[in-house]
Structure 1
Amino acid sequence: MTAQPAPRDDDRGGLRASHDDREAVVEQLRDAAAEGRIDLDELDERLERALTAKTYAELDALTADLPRPPAPADLPPLELKGGLHGASRGPGRWEVPAQVIARGGLAGVKLDFSRAECRFPEVTVEAYGEAAGVTIVVPDGWVADTTAMDPGIGGLKDTTTQDRLPGTPLIRVVGSGGMAGVVVRHPNRWERRKLASNPPRD
């Protein structure tokens, strides 16, 4: 049997779209409405068409008149330094780059992915516990790989599960625990309660 050539980008219109493809267009439409580019009536109409779209061509038609979102590769690495006062990112909505560097310093760093938006299949987190430690909070359904982590003196505590949901990224943690260590976990009871009481806005 002769192998069929892979479709070019300009030939993809007739290909079937996935759930993730439809969801990405839904998010782009909601962002456009929030920015005032389309009104609410038009948003409802386009959302309905996006959720029932079967091909890339149908999805592309819904965003053809909207600015294209920045490519994930355009996002620079995020570096958090605990310093004297500590540093954190999350749990609010933020866009995850392909690389995050967390240095505990003297006051610690907390990196919370609970409501983060990630377009990458894999994210590398360089965590250095140093004197005050680094805490990484991973949502349920996301998976962390800490096998390449050096526990150092402070150690590594990873209590996350390996129950990965489709379409979620792998958080690959590397670096060193340093003096205070690195903790990788899912949200605790208090954090879950706080998230539940503050639902995300569309």
Structure 2
Amino acid sequence: MGELEPDRSRLRISDADRHRVAEILREAAGEGRLDLTELDERLEATYAARTYADLVPITHDLPVQAPAPRPARRPSSVVQGPRSERHLAILGGFERKGAWVVPQQLTVVAMMGGADLDLREAGFAAREVTITVNCFMGGAQITVPPHVHVVMEGTGIMGGYSGPGRRVPEELDDGSPTVRIRGVAIWGGVSVERKR
């Protein structure tokens, strides 16, 4: 039985969505459709908006060239895939990019080598997956998209685990997968970065 589609109007909006609506408002004011007081009020409401539903009343009475901002439809994150995988990067590298399936348990060992895992186009074999990265004089770079929840549980010994930071904010909903990143980094490091 398929899962119900979440109400997309309740999804959180991005700064880019707010800027698009602000541009529509400025254009409308330039055409004489809004006076300066209305423009100020609507701009304030735009930058205070949190969801797509909050943006609808701001431009409902304005003719707009483009449709009101809508969230991009993401493909289903959970797909059929392997339960576990193990990979070694010894004096070399291991890389996964593009469309691939993250198994429920992914283990990578990097000894004087490195791993590069890009999850932006990946599907997930479960709603929660675990990536274990053990590094010795090596490292790993993990890139995640905004709709993935990340839990960092790694230990650094003369090395470290870092990320994903707040430069690109999370855009989570009920269907967002969780990625647990754990392991040990000795004289090495594991960094997680969030990108679009």
TM-score range (shorter-chain normalised) is 0.5 to 0.7
1:120 equivalent in structure 2: 126
Contact 1:149 1:173 in 2 (8 A): yes
2:107 equivalent in structure 1: 101
TM-aligned CA distance change 1:105 to 1:17, over 3 Å:
closer
| Structure 1 position 182, deviation (Å) | 0.9
RMSD: 2.3
TM-score after normalising by structure 2: 0.55
Q: Distance in 1 between matches of 2:190 and 2:91?
A: 18
1:18 equivalent in structure 2: 4
With a CA cutoff of 8 Å and minimum separation of 6, indicate the structure with the bigger relative contact order: 2
Q: How many residues align?
A: 121
Tell me the alpha carbon deviations over residues 60-99 of structure 1, each in whole angstroms, 9 at most, x when there is no partner: xxxxxxxxxxx84x61412222212211111x10112101
Contact 1:95 1:118 in 2 (8 A): yes
Runs of 4+ in 1 over 6 A off after TM superposition: none
Unaligned regions of 5+ residues in structure 2, if any? 7-78
| Structure 1 position 184, deviation (Å) | 1.1
TM-score after normalising by structure 1: 0.53
Greater strand fraction, Structure 1 or Structure 2: 2
Percent identity among equivalent residues? 24
| 2:94 maps to amino acid | A
| 2:157 maps to amino acid | G
Q: Distance in 2 between matches of 1:17 and 1:158?
A: 31
Tell me the alpha carbon deviations over residues 32-81 of structure 1, each in whole angstroms, 9 at most, x when there is no partner: xxxxxxxxxxxxxxxxxxxxxxxxxxxxxxxxxxxxxxx84x61412222
Contact 2:151 2:181 in 1 (8 A): yes
